[in-house]
Structures are given as C-alpha cells and as structure tokens.
Amino acid sequence: MSKLTNKIDANDRTIYDILNEQKYTVDYFQREFSWGQKHIEQLVSDLTTSFLQEYTDGDARKDGENYNNYYMGPFVVSVKDGQRSIIDGQQRLTSLTLLLIYVNNLQKELGINESIERMIFSEARGSKSFNIQVEERTECLQNLFEKGEYTPKDSDDESTKNMAVRYADIVELFPYDIKGNKLSFFIDWLKYNVILVEIIAYSDENAYTIFETMNDRGLNLTPTEMLKGFMLSRFHDTEKRKKANKYWKESMQKLHNYDKDEDQRFIQSWLRGKYADSIRQGKVGSKNEDFEKIGTRFHSWVRENLSKMNLQENIGDTFSNFIDNEFDFYLKAYLIMLDAIENLRDDLEYIYYIDDWGIASSLSFPLLISSLRVEDTDTMIKEKMNIVAKYIEIFVVRRSLNYRKFASSSIRYTMYSLVKEIRGKSFEELKNILSQKLLDMPEKWDAISKFGMHGQNKRFVKFLLSRMSSYIDKKAGIDKNYNSYFRPDGKAFEIEHIWANKYERHTDEFDQKADFELFRNRLGDLVLLPRGTNQSYGDKPYEEKHKHYVKENLLVQSLTPLAYENNPNFTNMIKSTELPFISHGEFKKYDIEQRQSLYQEICEQIWGNNIL
C-alpha cells in the first residue's frame, strides 16, 4: 500500500467548505436515509436554538463573525481518483441539504437573496447536479428545490420517500422567529459557524475500518450507561445490584427494539415530565436550566439533583427502591405509549394521532407522562395519557386552522408550564385543567371559514381530511379508520381540488386569477381521492365528475345528489350527527362556503371543547 492510500486526514470544516460546489456519492455499505421526525426535530431545534443564543437584535452582519460555533461531530469520506464518497455521516449531510433547500425556498418568499444554491447543487456546461449524488433521489430533490414539495411515487425507494416527509417536517418545525430579518444572519451562521470534522481516507480498507470503529457503540458510554453506573454504584447489597443490573439491561433492550436512542428519549421524557422545575429563558445569553440539561447530560443532572428525586447519597435502599418502583412504573407507562404510537388502538387513539400531527416529542412525551402517579393502575395510565394526547391534538389543530405555528421554539414555555401544572394530578383534576385551557385558547373554530391549503401546510390538510373522512365513516358504521386514508395498504390518497385549475371557467365570479386560486385552495374545495382516481377526475368540470364521486368515501359522496338516494348508512349518519350535509348539482363560490361550514361543524364534533 502506498503512503498516499494509507494516509488519513482530519480537519475542522464549516458546512460551507463541505458542501459548496463539492460532489459526494453515498458508499455501498451506507444504509438508506432513515432519519425519523424525532431526529430532524432535534437537528432543527439544536441549530436554531444555538443560533438564537448568539443573535442580538440590532446586530450588524459582521457581528456574526464573533458568534460561537456549533460542533456537529465527525463525518468520513473516501477519496479515490478525485471522487468523494460518504462513508459515515450520510444522515446528517442529507438532512443539512434538506434544511438548506428549505431555507433557500424561504428566502425566495421573503425577497432575500443569500448565496446558498451552490451548497445544494452545482452546474457545469449547462448541466445541473446535486452535490450529494444518488440517482434515485434526484427527482425528489429537484421538486423540493423548485416547488418546495414532492409527492412520492410507489416506485420510489425508501430514502426518497423518507426525504419528502422529512422536508415537510422541517417546514413545520422551523421557528417563526427566524423567518424575518434574522434569516440572513441565520444563513451566515449556518454556513460559517456550524462545524464538522471531516475525516478523509484514501483507501477502501481504511475507510471501512473507520466506519466500523465509529459505529461500534461499545466504545463510548452513553448518558444512559453512565446513569446506570452511577445508580448501581450506590447499592450496598450485592445481590440487589446484580438483580437491578439484569433488569436495567432487559429494559434497555425493550426500548432499543423501537429505536437505538429510545433509552435516552425515555429518560429525558421521564425526568422532564416528573422533576424538571426550570427552562431556559429566550433572552440572549440565558443559561441552560433543568429542561435543557436533562436534554444533553441527564446523568450529570441526576447526580446534582438527588433531593428532587428523593434519593439519598448514603442510603443504598433509596436507589434500589427507586429502580424497583419509580423507574419500573414509568418504563411501563412509556412502553404503553410507544406501542400506541405505532399501533392505532381505540383506548389510546389520540397518542397515535399526535405522532403524525402533534407537537415535538421533546414536549409531548413529558406532557403525556407528567400527570401519572406510581400508584396509578394500567387503566388509569391509559386514561390520563389519552386525555393529554387528546388535548395536544385539539391544541395543534386549532392553532393550525388559525395559521398559528407550534414549533418547539414557539410553544416551549406554554407547554412546559403545562407539564408542571398537571404533574401528579388526579384524572378529574387533569380533565378540569385541560378543559379550562381549551376554553381560554384565543384560537377559535370560526377561523375555518377562511382556512385554505398553501405550499407549506399540505401535510396538515391531508391529516385534517383523513380525520374528518374516517370520522364520518365511523359514524355511518363503515369499517374504515384514519389509516385507511393517511397511510393505506393500497393506493395512497391524495388531496383533490373539486374545482379544476381552469380560471376561464370561473370568470363570472372572479375578476382576478389570484382570487380564483385563493378560493380554489379553500378547505371546502378539497377532498381525498385515491391516487389515479384523482388524476382521472382532475380537469373535468364539476358537473361531469360529481356523478363519479358516488363510488368514493362518504365525505366525497356527500357532494353528489346520487349519494342521498337509497343510501341508509349515509342518511342515518346525517340524522344522528345533525351535520348540515347537502348535495351540490353545481359548485360555485357559495357552494365552497357551504362546504366550509360543514367542515367546521365536523371539526367541532371531533375536537370541540366538550370532548374532554
């Protein structure tokens, strides 16, 4: 082996250095792009929070040179014949690319023109190619870059489908605070102050050795492992220590069956939900408090806060009793919650929904846990968690319908105050507190009258229509549920505009095309149809296509007069719910407004204040 191929380089590099007009392929032993919503949430939260700690209103752009850097860890590339291949770090670099695409689209909306396009793609001899080159993902990246959205096809690979969903997560998670004058400062900081260590290998053998070493979890103790070591070291009884060690390892394995980092998420959620008393203020220079310390180094936080947890340093039984009782109880509750997130079930259905359209897990998980008491039965655990999840869903739906954001940075104080307010409460106390919170919300249901779809809320609109469609089915005794629409086993459902995109058909009601387009995107003009069906109906006038709607789900059927003939399931549902369903032989502005009113009443039945 030559000296060059045996060489390994390591250097601190900014994101700008790493991505600007640089080309990478993804090596064969890298897995698919598999980051989930919780990983993107952590990335966006860490980056934006770190930036906001540095920025001060009134700063000049050059002041950004003095902002602290943010370290994102190492990534590994192999360089052969001038070609760069990502060996380790694909998840972060792909996610950063998605974030850069979103920020680039956002700055276009705001009329800002910072130079970041060359960090996403480069151009040579008239040919454009993305800097992370994976052929199967190109169409998705192209659509996200040009249109801000991509609807995955059945033939797309796992990575491509996941990239589209993660981009939508970024749209929802990116804090409102940075969407104004601060955006140019954030772009500067992202380019020049976010640092990774680039490790370059010049042979496949060295590259794979580095990959193996960096992914061997046995080399570094995690915060969970350090917490276990601290807790067990305080046991005085050897047999109890052995028993607790065995139980701890078995418990961690149960959590790892869900996700390799689920153990840390459990402990963070449990400690935040039950013990954290403080959270960092939003002011520049504010110090991390309980909430943030638990999020980064919870093992250290526990050592410093034993009294909060009723643990006494020199009394070993307090530690063994803590593991046997409190730890065991909250682990059981957390596992119930994880099962409900993965499986739609009647007794915990609202937990399932908030995982699709709820507040970030760093806030929702502590909320779900906070009211629990060690003496609660399994039935009470489920009732408490489900009612909190129900509150969370109503909260985010009402905010979304009022075009209010609920990214972590916008609601973290509100939600964390609620964590402390409901901590350890009885079921009746919990219900009363949450009911009053909903009554006090300034965001009202009548905002639906003006609510419509735009480029950044399509996923929410699909969620909303899926919940409404399945609600109507259930009331009619039809065996369909939310998953039948949001994630069906067969053809995917897509949002269908009842009006075709044909302004010329509506000039009798609209003088301006922009007014027509705004009305066309109103909620009342939208339904869910299976992919393929959607395309076949799309451009037809309403008078031609409504008769075909009788073959679709009840919410769609309700448009056509045919649905009201010999359809007892439908007509009985109307009587029992007293919802103002009417048929539409034509579909004009007035019909959209009527439909909008119907949707409002459906929403109030699903999510009204009295649901608690």
What would the pLDDT profile of 518-554 be if each residue is shown by its tens digit? 999 999 999 999 988 767 776 889 999 898 899 999 9
Query: Is 391 found in the same domain as 468?
Result: no
Reported as a pLDDT band with limits 50, 70 and 90, residue 609 is low
Residue 426 in any domain: the answer is: yes
- Of the residues 187, 218, 249, which one is the last residue of a structural domain? 218
- Out of 253-267, 418-432, 591-605, least confident range: 253-267
- Out of 155-169, 462-476, 569-583, least confident range: 155-169
Percentage of the chain beyond pLDDT 90 is 57
What residues contact 585, with CB distance under 8 A and at least 6 apart? 543, 546, 561
Query: Is 573 found in the same domain as 509?
Result: yes
DSSP 365-423: HHHHHHT--TT--HHHHHHHHHHHHHHHHHHHHHHHHTT----HHHHHHHHHHHHHHHT
The kind and range of the H/E element at 209 are helix 204-214
Judge whether residue 316 has pLDDT over 60: no
Q: What is the pLDDT of residues 197-239, one digit of tens each?
A: 888 887 766 766 766 666 554 445 678 988 988 888 888 888 9
Give the bridge partners for 500, in sequence order. Answer: none
Q: Which residue, 342, 496, 360, is CA-closest to 415?
A: 360
* Strand-pair category, 132-133 with 24-26: parallel
Query: Is 431 found in the same domain as 370?
Result: yes
Residue 1 in any domain: the answer is: no
Residue 219: the pLDDT is: 43
Query: Is 438 found in the same domain as 290?
Result: yes
- The whole domain housing 146 covers 8-218
Residue 1: the pLDDT is: 45
Residue 366: the pLDDT is: 96
Query: Is 358 found in the same domain as 408?
Result: yes
Residue 331: the pLDDT is: 97
Residue 313 in any domain: the answer is: yes
Q: What is the pLDDT of residues 20-74, one digit of tens each?
A: 988 888 865 556 788 888 889 889 988 988 898 899 888 999 999 999 999 988 8
- The pTM of this model reads 0.76
* Strand-pair category, 24-26 with 83-88: parallel
Other beta carbons within 10 Å of 495 = 18
**Mean pLDDT of all residues belonging to the chain:** 88
The encoded tokens of residue 68 equal: 């602290």
- SS3 category, 78: strand
Residue 2 in any domain: the answer is: no
What letter represents residue 398's amino acid? R
Span 93-110, mean pLDDT? Answer: 93
Judge whether residue 6 has pLDDT over 70: no
Q: Which residue, 276, 250, 275, is CA-closest to 263?
A: 250
Residue 421: the pLDDT is: 96
Residue 3 in any domain: the answer is: no
- Out of 213-222, 304-313, 573-582, least confident range: 213-222
Judge whether residue 608 has pLDDT over 90: no
For residue 95, the Cα-to-chain-centroid distance in whole angstroms is 13
The encoded tokens of residue 316 equal: 């070993």
- Out of 202-206, 350-354, 450-454, least confident range: 202-206
Other beta carbons within 10 Å of 105 = 19
Query: Is 233 found in the same domain as 99?
Result: no
Other beta carbons within 10 Å of 355 = 17
Residue 217: the pLDDT is: 44
Query: Is 307 found in the same domain as 214?
Result: no
- SS3 category, 362: helix
Span 158-183, mean pLDDT? Answer: 86
Span 242-264, mean pLDDT? Answer: 91
Query: Is 279 found in the same domain as 360?
Result: yes
Residue 179 in any domain: the answer is: yes
Q: Which residue, 503, 502, 551, 561, is CA-closest to 527?
A: 551
* CA pair distance 464, 128, nearest whole angstrom: 37
Q: Which residue, 169, 126, 177, 173, is CA-closest to 144?
A: 169
Q: What is the pLDDT of residues 143-152, one digit of tens each?
A: 999 999 898 8
Residue 306: the pLDDT is: 93
Asked if residue 151 lies in contact with residue 108, where contact means CB atoms within 8 angstroms, the answer is: no
Residue 255 in any domain: the answer is: yes
For residue 555, the Cα-to-chain-centroid distance in whole angstroms is 27
- Out of 6-10, 293-297, 359-363, least confident range: 6-10
Residue 111 in any domain: the answer is: yes
- Out of 95-109, 214-228, 298-312, 426-440, least confident range: 214-228
Query: Is 388 found in the same domain as 260?
Result: yes
Residue 218: the pLDDT is: 41
* Residue 377 φ/ψ, nearest 5 degrees: -75, 170
Reported as a pLDDT band with limits 50, 70 and 90, residue 408 is low
Q: Is 539 exposed, middle or buried (0-12, 13-18, 19+ CB in 10 A)?
A: exposed
Query: Is 576 found in the same domain as 428?
Result: no
Query: Is 421 found in the same domain as 276?
Result: yes
- SS3 category, 285: coil
- Of the residues 168, 194, 218, which one is the last residue of a structural domain? 218
Query: Is 464 found in the same domain as 410?
Result: no
Judge whether residue 344 has pLDDT over 90: yes
Asked if residue 513 lies in contact with residue 507, where contact means CB atoms within 8 angstroms, the answer is: no
Residue 131: the pLDDT is: 86
Q: Which residue, 67, 115, 96, is CA-closest to 196?
A: 96
What residues contact 205, with CB distance under 8 A and at least 6 apart? 1
Specify the number of domains making up the chain.
Answer: 3
The encoded tokens of residue 132 equal: 């992370």
Give the bridge partners for 83, in sequence order. Answer: 80
- Of the residues 446, 463, 481, which one is the last residue of a structural domain? 446
* CA pair distance 29, 85, nearest whole angstrom: 11
